[in-house]
């Protein structure tokens, strides 16, 4: 829902109809658009750390492939050693070949150069292949680990976290880590080895000139370290801004029909443009700092080389060193300067990856609010389907001061058909949320099959419940995959029987590929009534002892509703059923009707007794049946 302009902030509990959603506010263009990750804390986002220790999280993903890492390290050392060997060959060619007028040595040097080049090429191939493979493999493992973890997070997490931000962490952040593991890290190590090796060769060639290098090196590294910290902070901010853009796109495309129905395109273009410009401005500042850092390092490094060449030239003229020594020294000095410049450039990538790693660590460290106990209890078999709410008080995490249920107590017997009615916001959907253990109550308990829901593994608990929501959920898959979503091993005959029972077969037969027909994103190819019947078929096929119907026939026309009500009557015969209903005509034959208002039970009875009582139900019934 959009009110005016701005960006998405708080959203209501996923899948709930009762808690309202807040609108958008218009963030000033000059201020970064803040995003939040912690679903259980109102504390401000902690500042990013000023080092790259967060990249240590990569080791647990790299460790299974440590043998490949060892092979890549060997290839790296061989390649770096080959480059260093070229410098010694250059010294020999100048001093013993060119200066001494020895053409035979020149021939030998050429052959030796070819050998070194072949060895170096083979080592570079091995390093590149192994390291690139490692980067892709580690990225895939991180994405799988993060996605597996996200699936265990409760809906409370997504109340305060935008989906687009989570997607950004799974895609953009992991891509940055892939860049570091698959290229930047090995590139940096290669240049680090070259820098160390070149320094050793410098010291062996001319201790005097090497001392001059030692004076210059700190001047080169100091700006790199200072600017690197700034690059990292800006990189973290840039990733946050990218997450803001992704979140806005996700929401807008999700609700594209509402956007177009209210002719909101221009406002959304303007708001999206603001977010893109804020992200661009952050990226521009990061690029400027990084480019300045690299340029400064290169200027200082090559200025140092010029100074060294000037001093060394005087030593050659004075006879203190040979021309070959000076040539080798310059070669190693250039190699060392290039390596320092490369490390400076890669350091920016490492800083960016450290920010991405920090965001992923933050996500992976988010503990699920709803988790299985250390020794979960087992629900009885066959499942009884009885439900007991004992003095339950519950408020959604995003609205702790507004309880959705207050001192709520209710017993549902096995096989009973119980309806929950009342005005919007009365607490009906919250009852379903607690039964599915999307949340735990702040006070009281919810017992299913004689066990407190908190003492049972949430997955085992949910395997006893079939849900038909008010807004049917259809996935971008085939009809077959949608129907067997709750029972993936179901055979073709069982799927067809469930579809026939839900009176969905008549339209499935007319689809181009029958059960194999793809339904598109969110089932856009089907009408509302057809989507609802598929959702009912899914629940019928799941065949679970506790059935939750949230306005299960609200999207059907009169004829379809009649047919589906017959199917539901057959389904409910052997199941404990809780029904949320705004249309009271659908619950007239329930065993009991529970009337809720402001999170409390105000009436309980049958349709006939409640209609005569003159209470809230009678007023609602009078309004609906008169209409």
Residue 344 in domain: yes
pLDDT at residue number 389? 93
HSE, side-chain direction, 13 A CA sphere, residue 618: 9
Q: What percent of the chain has pLDDT over 90?
A: 7
Residue 67 in domain: yes
Residue 374 in domain: no
pLDDT at residue number 514? 86
Residue 612 in domain: yes
Residue 40 in domain: no
- CATH number of the domain bearing residue 91: 1.20.1560.10
- 596: three-class secondary structure by DSSP: strand
| Cα–Cα dist 532/120, whole Å | 65
Q: Domain check: are 459 and 351 in the same one? A: no
- pLDDT category at 30 given cuts 50, 70, 90 is very low
Q: Assess contact for 511 and 479: CB atoms under 8 A.
A: yes
Q: Domain check: are 419 and 284 in the same one? A: no
Q: Domain check: are 421 and 343 in the same one? A: no
Residue 377 in domain: no
Q: Domain check: are 304 and 414 in the same one? A: no
For residue 440, what are its two tokens?
């735990």
Q: Domain check: are 283 and 404 in the same one? A: no
pLDDT at residue number 105? 67
Q: Domain check: are 352 and 432 in the same one? A: no
- pLDDT category at 43 given cuts 50, 70, 90 is very low
Q: Domain check: are 409 and 490 in the same one? A: yes
pLDDT tens track for 501-556? 888 888 888 888 888 888 877 777 787 778 888 888 888 888 888 889 887 666 56
Tell me the pTM.
0.64
Q: Domain check: are 325 and 208 in the same one? A: yes
Residue 463 in domain: yes
Residue 12 in domain: no
CA 91: distance to chain centroid? Answer: 55
Q: Domain check: are 117 and 229 in the same one? A: yes
Q: Domain check: are 177 and 233 in the same one? A: yes
Q: Report the chain's mean pLDDT, rounded to a whole number.
A: 78
- CATH number of the domain bearing residue 580: 3.40.50.300
Domain that holds residue 59: 55-364
pLDDT tens track for 132-182? 888 888 888 888 888 888 888 877 787 777 777 788 788 778 877 877 777
For residue 51, what are its two tokens?
């080092």
Length of the chain: 627
pLDDT at residue number 380? 75
Q: Where are the alpha helices (DSSP H) in 153-264?
A: 155-159, 163-168, 174-179, 185-205, 207-254, 256-261
Note the maximum CA span of the chain.
121
In the chain, how many domains are there? 2
| Cα–Cα dist 576/480, whole Å | 26
Neighbour tally for 42: CB within 10 Å? 8
Q: Domain check: are 408 and 324 in the same one? A: no
The DSSP result for 383-437, as a single string, is: ----EEEEEEEE--TT-TTS-SEEEEEEEE-TT-EEEEE-STTSSHHHHHHHHTT
Q: Domain check: are 287 and 403 in the same one? A: no
| Cα–Cα dist 297/345, whole Å | 9
pLDDT at residue number 10? 33
CB < 8 Å & 24+ apart, contacts of 370-376: 370/154, 370/156, 370/437, 370/438, 370/439, 370/440, 370/458, 371/152, 371/458, 372/456, 372/457, 372/458, 372/459, 373/454, 373/455, 373/456, 373/457, 376/455, 376/456, 376/457, 376/460
pLDDT at residue number 562? 74
Name residues whose C-beta falls within 8 Å of residue 203's C-beta, 6 or more positions apart in sequence: 210
- pLDDT category at 209 given cuts 50, 70, 90 is confident
């Amino acid at each position: 829902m959009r009110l005016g302009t701005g960006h998405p902030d708080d959203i209501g509990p996923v899948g709930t109809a009762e808690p309202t959603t807040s609108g958008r506010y218009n963030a000033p263009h000059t201020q970064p658009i803040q995003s939040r990750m912690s679903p259980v804390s109102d504390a401000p986002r902690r500042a990013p750390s000023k080092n790259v220790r967060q990249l240590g999280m990569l080791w647990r993903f790299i460790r299974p492939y440590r043998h490949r890492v060892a092979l890549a390290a060997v290839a790296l050392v061989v390649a770096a050693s080959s480059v260093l060997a070229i410098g010694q060959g250059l010294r020999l060619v100048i001093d013993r070949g060119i200066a001494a007028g020895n053409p035979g040595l020149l021939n030998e040097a050429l052959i030796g150069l070819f050998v070194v080049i072949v060895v170096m090429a083979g080592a570079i191939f091995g390093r590149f292949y192994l390291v690139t493979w490692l980067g892709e493999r580690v990225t895939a493992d991180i994405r799988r680990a993060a996605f597996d973890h996200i699936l265990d997070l409760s809906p409370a997490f997504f109340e305060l976290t935008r989906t687009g931000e989570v997607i950004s962490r799974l895609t953009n952040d992991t891509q940055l880590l892939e860049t570091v593991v698959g290229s930047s890290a090995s590139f940096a190590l290669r240049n680090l080895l070259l820098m160390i090796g070149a320094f050793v060769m410098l010291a062996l060639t001319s201790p005097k000139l090497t001392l001059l290098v030692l004076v210059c090196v700190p001047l080169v590294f100091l700006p790199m370290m200072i600017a690197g910290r700034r690059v990292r902070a800006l990189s973290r901010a840039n990733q946050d801004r990218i997450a803001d853009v992704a979140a806005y796109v996700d929401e807008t495309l999700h609700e594209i029909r509402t956007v177009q129905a209210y002719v909101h395109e221009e406002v959304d273009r303007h708001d999206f443009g603001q977010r893109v410009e804020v992200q661009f401005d952050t990226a521009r500042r990061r690029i400027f700092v990084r480019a300045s850092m690299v340029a400064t390092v290169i200027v200082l490094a090559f200025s140092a080389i010029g100074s060294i060449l000037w001093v060394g030239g005087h030593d050659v003229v004075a006879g203190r060193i040979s021309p070959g020594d000076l040539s080798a020294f310059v070669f190693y000095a250039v190699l060392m300067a290039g390596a320092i410049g490369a490390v400076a450039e890669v350091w920016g990538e490492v800083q960016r990856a450290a920010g991405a790693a920090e965001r992923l660590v933050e996500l992976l460290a988010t503990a699920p609010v709803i988790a299985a106990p250390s020794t979960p209890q087992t629900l009885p078999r066959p499942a009884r389907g009885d439900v007991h709410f004992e003095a339950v008080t519950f408020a959604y995490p995003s609205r702790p001061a507004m309880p959705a249920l207050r001192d709520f107590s209710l017993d549902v017997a096995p096989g009973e058909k119980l309806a929950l009615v009342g005005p919007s916001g009365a607490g009906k959907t919250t009852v379903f949320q607690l039964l599915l253990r999307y949340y735990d109550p702040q006070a009281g308990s919810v017992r299913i099959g004689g066990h407190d829901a908190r003492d049972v593994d949430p997955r085992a608990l949910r395997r006893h419940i079939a849900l038909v929501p008010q807004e049917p959920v259809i996935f971008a898959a085939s009809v077959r995959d949608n129907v067997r979503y709750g029972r993936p091993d179901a055979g073709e005959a069982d799927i067809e029987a469930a579809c026939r029972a839900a009176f969905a077969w008549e339209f499935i037969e007319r689809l181009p590929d029958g059960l194999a027909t793809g339904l598109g994103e969110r089932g856009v190819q089907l009408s509302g009534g057809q989507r609802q019947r598929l959702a009912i078929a899914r629940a019928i096929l799941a065949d679970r002892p506790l059935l939750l119907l949230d306005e299960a026939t609200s999207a059907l026309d009169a004829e379809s509703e009649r047919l589906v009500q017959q199917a539901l009557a057959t389904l409910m015969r052997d199941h404990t059923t809780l029904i949320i209903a705004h249309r009271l005509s659908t619950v007239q034959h329930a065993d009991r009707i529970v009337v809720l208002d402001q999170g409390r039970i105000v009436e309980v009875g049958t349709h006939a007794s409640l209609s005569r009582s003159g209470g809230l139900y009678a007023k609602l019934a009078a309004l609906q049946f008169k209409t």
